[in-house]
């Protein structure tokens, strides 16, 4: 099934616009927090030990459905991606978006052969505490502990969260000189990021 | 002409040195000293005394420049101080790039091009001051308007080259400009994906299946007044897709619907 057909099928499944069974949230089962807690898989990592089911590093090469990644400690990891793997690169995207040189975080399940079957992959994601030093028509200029960072505003994607209220697309409440927290996608080997979400006080 | 110009330089350079020394001898000096590259150069314990010593030398040279008599050696001292400053900046840039300059205030600003240009301007100013033949008030009396213009312009240049002082004029200027006309006021109004995800995460529908979710957000699209969000899920060992329908208009987490669709294609309740 192509992606459009798949979307249409899934829309029908949840919205029930055709004969496909309508599944309301309440039909799933108990909403009690205890019921949810019971479903959580137990962490199988010793305190302080590296998590075998997590990898961070830079993409070294791309293969069909897999990425070869080098971590900061120079260890190499082979990461498998499937259609069930979520890939984030500024926004939810597909495995095709991965490029050599991208920074990567991957979470999944370590297979017996040492490779990681990824459930979720985040490319170039950064989380920065900054001061806004200037605001332009297409970018925010940010100071990150004395380093200058250019945060590009991406129309239709960049969102702002003011005072922990729901995210909005309106960026006009951002102010020069104020503190902000920024989630964005780094442009590899530059001091530039594309902004996903800016958290600020207004 | 050059003698007249040299007279203005006595005043400007002397003034800048005295001003700089005030920061180094003031109450906030220990903070600035520890943030500066001096900490790396002379060690943690000697940073504050060294910083104050630099301040004393600046005060001395500055006072010599603005008070009579006019001696050529004063200008040479100022030139030597500027050369030392350039060497210190080069050291800071190479060996302590994270440290501040500590030059004109306690604001933490790493050494960059502007600091070098400023030290260069002061060096040139010291070299010019060596041509002085008379004390600066004589040059002021000669051409008062031109004198004031030169002093104001040069001071403005030095302030503009001082990142430590940006918060006094540059940030207020930018803040004012943004208040008058915000550059990002015209971004198109949309419902950001992030707001749908936030709404979803606060819903009972999400909490009921969160234990089965394996991935982060897989895909999203809009269908009428709904935004659909999908996640990979694992329901009792069966691979499935969790589809959520989140209302696009308004915050109504109680209206969010969910379906678990197994890879085989049938809807799993």
Residue A21 and residue A63 in contact, taking contact as beta carbons nearer than 8 Å:
no
Residue B40, pLDDT above cutoff 90: no
- Predicted local distance difference test score (pLDDT) of residue A187: 96
Q: Any residues with CB less than 8 A from the CB of B98 and at least 6 apart, and which?
A: A146, B110
- Predicted local distance difference test score (pLDDT) of residue B143: 84
Is A21's Cβ below 8 Å from some Cβ in B?
yes
Q: Which residues of chain A make contact with B202, given a CB cutoff of 8 A?
A: none
Contact B232 A156 (CB under 8 A): no
Give the start-to-end residue ranges of the domains of chain B.
Answer: 2-180, 193-262
* Structure tokens that stand for B220 in this block: 């999203």
> What residues of chain B, 71 to 110, have a C-beta less than 8 Å from chain A?
98, 100, 108-110
Residue A159, pLDDT above cutoff 90: yes
Within a 10 A sphere around the Cβ of A89, how many other Cβ atoms? 21
- Predicted local distance difference test score (pLDDT) of residue A20: 43
Is B264's Cβ below 8 Å from some Cβ in A?
no
Residue B117, pLDDT above cutoff 50: yes
Q: Which residues of chain B make contact with A167, given a CB cutoff of 8 A?
A: 192, 194-195, 198
Cα–Cα distances in Å, from B170 out to A72, A192, B160, B173, B177? Answer: 39, 22, 9, 5, 11
Is B173's Cβ below 8 Å from some Cβ in A?
no
CB-CB: which of A30, A31, A170 is closest to B187? A170
Is B257's Cβ below 8 Å from some Cβ in A?
yes
- Predicted local distance difference test score (pLDDT) of residue A43: 65
- Residue with the larger pLDDT of the pair B26 and B227: B227
- Predicted local distance difference test score (pLDDT) of residue A41: 57
Q: Any residues with CB less than 8 A from the CB of B17 and at least 6 apart, and which?
A: B58, B59, B61, B62, B65, B78, B81
How confident is the model over A15-44, as pLDDT tens digits? Answer: 875 444 444 433 444 445 455 445 555 667
How confident is the model over B72-96, as pLDDT tens digits? Answer: 888 889 999 999 999 999 999 898 8
The arithmetic mean of pLDDT across residues B235-242, rounded, is 86
- Predicted local distance difference test score (pLDDT) of residue A24: 41
- Predicted local distance difference test score (pLDDT) of residue A1: 58
Q: Which residues of chain B make contact with A29, given a CB cutoff of 8 A?
A: 208
Which of A51-65, A122-136, B102-116, B207-221 bottoms out in mean pLDDT, i.e. has the lowest? B102-116
Q: Any residues with CB less than 8 A from the CB of B45 and at least 6 apart, and which?
A: none
Residue B27, pLDDT above cutoff 70: yes
Model confidence, pTM: 0.81
Q: Is the ipTM of this complex over 0.85?
A: yes
Q: Name all domains of chain A by residue range, CATH numbers in brackets.
A: 3-39 (no CATH), 54-123 (2.40.50.140), 126-200 (2.40.50.140)
Mean pLDDT for all residues in chain A? 86
Q: How crowded is the C-beta side of A10, counted as CA atoms within 13 Å?
A: 31
- Predicted local distance difference test score (pLDDT) of residue B251: 86
Contact B193 A24 (CB under 8 A): no
How confident is the model over B120-176, as pLDDT tens digits? Answer: 999 999 998 888 778 888 888 888 898 899 999 999 999 999 888 888 899 899 999
> From the CA atom positions of chain B, what is the Rg in Å?
32
> What residues of chain A, 33 to 62, have a C-beta less than 8 Å from chain B?
33, 35-41
> What residues of chain A, 108 to 137, have a C-beta less than 8 Å from chain B?
119-120, 122, 133-137
Residue B257, pLDDT above cutoff 60: yes
* Structure tokens that stand for A193 in this block: 């990021």
The arithmetic mean of pLDDT across residues A69-98, rounded, is 94
């Amino acid at each position: 099934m192509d992606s459009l057909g798949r979307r249409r099928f899934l829309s029908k499944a949840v919205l029930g616009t055709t004969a496909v069974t309508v599944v309301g949230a309440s039909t799933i089962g108990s909403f009690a927090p205890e019921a949810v807690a019971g479903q959580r898989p137990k962490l199988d990592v010793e305190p302080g030990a590296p998590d075998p089911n997590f990898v961070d590093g830079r993409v070294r090469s791309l293969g069909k459905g897999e990425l070869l990644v080098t971590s900061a400690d120079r260890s190499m990891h082979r990461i498998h991606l499937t259609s069930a793997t979520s890939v984030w690169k500024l926004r939810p995207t597909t495995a095709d978006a991965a490029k050599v040189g991208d920074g990567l975080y991957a979470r999944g399940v370590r297979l017996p052969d040492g490779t990681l079957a990824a459930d979720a992959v985040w490319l170039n994601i950064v989380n920065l505490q900054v001061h806004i030093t200037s605001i332009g028509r297409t970018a925010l200029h940010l100071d990150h502990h004395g380093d200058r960072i250019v945060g590009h505003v991406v129309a239709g994607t960049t969102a702002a969260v003011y005072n922990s209220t729901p995210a909005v697309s309106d960026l006009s409440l951002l102010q020069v000189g104020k503190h902000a927290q920024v989630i964005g996608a780094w442009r590899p080997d530059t001091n530039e990021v594309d902004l996903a979400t800016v958290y600020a006080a207004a | 002409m050059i003698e007249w110009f040299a007279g203005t330089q006595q005043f400007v350079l002397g003034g800048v040195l005295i001003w700089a020394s005030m920061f180094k001898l003031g109450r906030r000096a220990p903070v600035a000293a520890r943030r500066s590259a001096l900490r790396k150069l002379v060690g943690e314990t000697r940073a504050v005394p060294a910083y104050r010593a630099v301040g004393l030398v600046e005060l001395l040279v500055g006072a010599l420049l603005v008070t009579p008599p006019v001696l050529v050696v004063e200008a040479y001292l100022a030139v030597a101080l500027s050369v030392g400053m350039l060497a210190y900046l080069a050291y800071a840039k190479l060996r302590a790039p994270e440290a501040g300059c500590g030059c004109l205030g306690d604001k933490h600003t790493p050494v960059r091009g502007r600091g070098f240009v400023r030290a260069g301007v002061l060096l040139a100013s010291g070299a010019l001051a060596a041509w002085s033949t008379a004390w600066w008030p004589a040059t002021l009396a000669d051409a008062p308007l031109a004198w004031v213009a030169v002093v104001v312009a040069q001071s403005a240049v030095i302030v503009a080259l001082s990142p430590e002082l940006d918060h006094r004029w540059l940030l207020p200027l930018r803040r004012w400009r943004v208040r008058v006309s915000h550059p990002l006021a015209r971004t198109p109004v949309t419902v950001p994906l992030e707001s749908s995800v936030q709404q979803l995460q606060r819903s009972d529908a999400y909490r009921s299946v969160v234990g089965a979710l394996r991935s982060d957000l897989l895909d999203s699209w809009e269908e009428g007044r709904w935004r659909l969000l999908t996640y990979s899920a694992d329901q009792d060992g069966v691979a499935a897709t969790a589809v959520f329908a989140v209302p696009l208009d308004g915050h109504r987490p109680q209206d969010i619907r969910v379906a678990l669709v197994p890879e085989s294609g049938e809807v799993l309740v």
